[in-house]
Amino acid sequence: MSQTYLAIGSPEKAIEYGGKSVALNREDPSGLIVLGSAYEYIHQYEKATGYFEEALLLCELQNNIYLMGFIYDHLGKIALYLYDLKKAESYAFQSLEIYRQVSAASCCVSLTLLSKIEYLKGNYVKSEEYIKEALQIAKEFNLLENKQYCYQILSDLASIQGKYREYIQYWEEMDLVVKAIAAETTLRASEEMAAKYETEKKDFEIERQQHIIARHVMHRRLLAAGISVCAVFLVLLWLMLRLRSRRNAALSERNAALDERNAALSERNDTLSEMNATKDRFFSIISHDLKNPAIALHDALRLLAKNGSRWDSETLTDYYDELLLSSESHVELILHLLDWARAQTGRTVCNPEKFFLAARLRYDIRQIRTMAAKKGVELVVDVSDDAVVDADPNIVTAVVRNLLTNAVKFTKASPDPSRSGEEGTVTLSATPRFDADGAVTGYVIAVSDTGIGMSEEQVNSLFSLDSARSQPGTAGEQGTGLGLIVCRDLLERHGCKIRVESKQGAGSRFSFDLKI
């Protein structure tokens, strides 16, 4: 559908259906290519380039040589539109190299693109060589539209070089090709009209035959209806005989159902008691961690309003920074409370799908790397670009982002930045797991740090709501203690558990498993 809408010049519809196709199967490069072509059609070259590059990566993994040549050709055209001649030339050469292997006729497109690039660079002789080679291929395979375009470029080259005799010759040749295209279009139209006439004639004959068949079918249905009525009477008689015995069986089943209902009510009462206990713990956290920051923020704002006009700009800046840190920890607490509440009430939906892990985490890693750099902490990422997992991308992203933020929070800056890996380092890794035959069955996602670590008692109370209290980070950062509890609840919806390894003064390691 997306390709059809693009072919008839409706890029908006092509984008709509192309997006649905990619959402259903992102490992099929065809949908990504159609999206890229649609965005190229409406001159949104940045989005088009993104989809073409993602499709190119899939084609390389699937060894789809022909589509790679097609993608390189479009990337070259986009680079030419943006007047990036060096990149356009690189893509055109890669496309030409592939087409020479798989499709000689397709080489005409790449050679034409190279000719335009050389034309814009002012290398008219080289441009003429490329376009003449393209013209030769177009003649060999009788590609009329390509021949017309080649003659047009040759006439432009002849004109700009002052070769007016050749300019007239090429223009006459192009006029002959235009006439041939018009004749071919006319012939095709007449053939389509003849085919349409034959089709309508056959449709009429088919409709006549269908009327005859419908009459025979009606007769058979009337006969079948008579037989069915007799069968219904027999079935009703049989059902009446069975009704009495089934009524007794129904009474027995009803008694059994009542017993099960009583058991279910008892279990529900136990669940309600547990939910009430959870609610009490939840309100306890709110009354302690939500009330105190709000009161402190209120007092700080009152102090600012009272003394703001008397303080200098440096004092005000420091005070604003403290207010910002206080409000950020307050917002973090509220978000964690909402996430935890959604998980507890079953409103967090898990929608697993296959996706590239590195590509999905790239934005969050960039944000956390900036945060770590401001603190003087190095963030090391060891995740392969071709690592594919089957999970809910939103849940995985939220868990990894939370674990990385915690790791940076409790890691001190390295005193010697050149000695990475010893102190002041946070590492995100995705280690493949193999079966007995050596095939990859999944990945172990781990976040480790060289921070302050935890005691055994702290590790045992990490996921307990009764003791959900966070100690300040190495730079005085404040937290809520609920982030890890939310991570655990989200991962349990994937059917996996979070593992913790830590030693006081020697860093921590949090890990969990994902399937492919």
Q: Which among 308-312, 365-369, 476-480 has the top mean pLDDT?
A: 365-369
pTM confidence score: 0.41
- Picking from 38, 27, 47, the residue whose alpha carbon sits closest to that of residue 4 is 38
Residue 511 CB contacts under 8 Å (≥ 6 apart), including other chains? 444, 445, 446, 447, 498, 499, 501
* C-alpha distance from residue 129 to each of 91, 143, 286 (Å): 19, 19, 76
- Average pLDDT over every residue of 361-376: 90
Rounded to an integer, what distance in angstroms lies between the CA atom of residue 63 and that of residue 74? 19
User: What is the model's pLDDT at position 345?
Assistant: 63
- Average pLDDT over every residue of 278-290: 58
- Picking from 66, 77, 151, the residue whose alpha carbon sits closest to that of residue 104 is 66
Which fold is adopted by the domain 350-515?
Heat Shock Protein 90 (3.30.565)
User: What is the model's pLDDT at position 232?
Assistant: 81
- Comparing 286 with 101, which gets the higher pLDDT? 101
Contact 480, 405 (CB under 8 A): no
The class of domain 282-347 in CATH terms is mainly alpha
Rounded to an integer, what distance in angstroms lies between the CA atom of residue 330 and that of residue 283? 16
| 487: amino acid identity, one letter | C
Q: Average per-residue pLDDT in the chain? A: 82
What's the CATH code, domain 2-184?
1.25.40.10
Rounded to an integer, what distance in angstroms lies between the CA atom of residue 72 and that of residue 52? 8
- Average pLDDT over every residue of 370-375: 88
* pLDDT > 70: percent of the chain: 85
Residues of the chain with CATH 1.25.40.10: 2-184
* pLDDT > 90: percent of the chain: 17
Q: Which among 99-108, 297-306, 435-444 has the top mean pLDDT?
A: 435-444
* 106 confidence band (pLDDT: 50, 70, 90): confident
Residues of the chain with CATH 3.30.565.10: 350-515
pLDDT at 376 over 70: yes
Q: Could you read off the pLDDT of 193-211 as tens digits, one per residue? A: 777 777 777 877 888 888 8
Radius of gyration of the chain (CA): 36
pLDDT at 510 over 60: yes
Q: Could you read off the pLDDT of 126-175 as tens digits, one per residue? A: 988 998 888 998 888 888 888 888 988 988 888 888 888 888 888 888 88
Q: Which among 108-122, 205-219, 295-309 has the top mean pLDDT?
A: 108-122
Rounded to an integer, what distance in angstroms lies between the CA atom of residue 373 and that of residue 362? 16
Q: Could you read off the pLDDT of 229-277 as tens digits, one per residue? A: 778 867 887 887 888 778 778 877 887 887 788 777 777 766 666 566 5
Token duo for residue 500 = 């913790």
* 28 confidence band (pLDDT: 50, 70, 90): confident
- Average pLDDT over every residue of 493-502: 88
Q: Which among 162-171, 196-205, 382-391, 478-487 has the top mean pLDDT?
A: 382-391
Rounded to an integer, what distance in angstroms lies between the CA atom of residue 244 and that of residue 354? 55
Rounded to an integer, what distance in angstroms lies between the CA atom of residue 288 and that of residue 330? 12
User: What is the model's pLDDT at position 318?
Assistant: 77
Q: Which strand (E) or helix (H) includes residue 475?
A: none
- Average pLDDT over every residue of 279-287: 59
- Between 122-136, 173-187, 382-396, 413-427, the lowest mean confidence (pLDDT) is in 413-427
Contacts 24+ apart (CB under 8 A), 27-31: 27/58, 27/354, 28/58, 29/55, 29/56, 29/58, 29/59, 29/62, 29/64, 29/67, 30/67, 31/2
User: What is the model's pLDDT at position 505?
Assistant: 86
pLDDT at 86 over 80: yes
Token duo for residue 229 = 């009525």
User: What is the model's pLDDT at position 41?
Assistant: 87
Phi, psi torsion values for 389, nearest 5 degrees: -125, 160
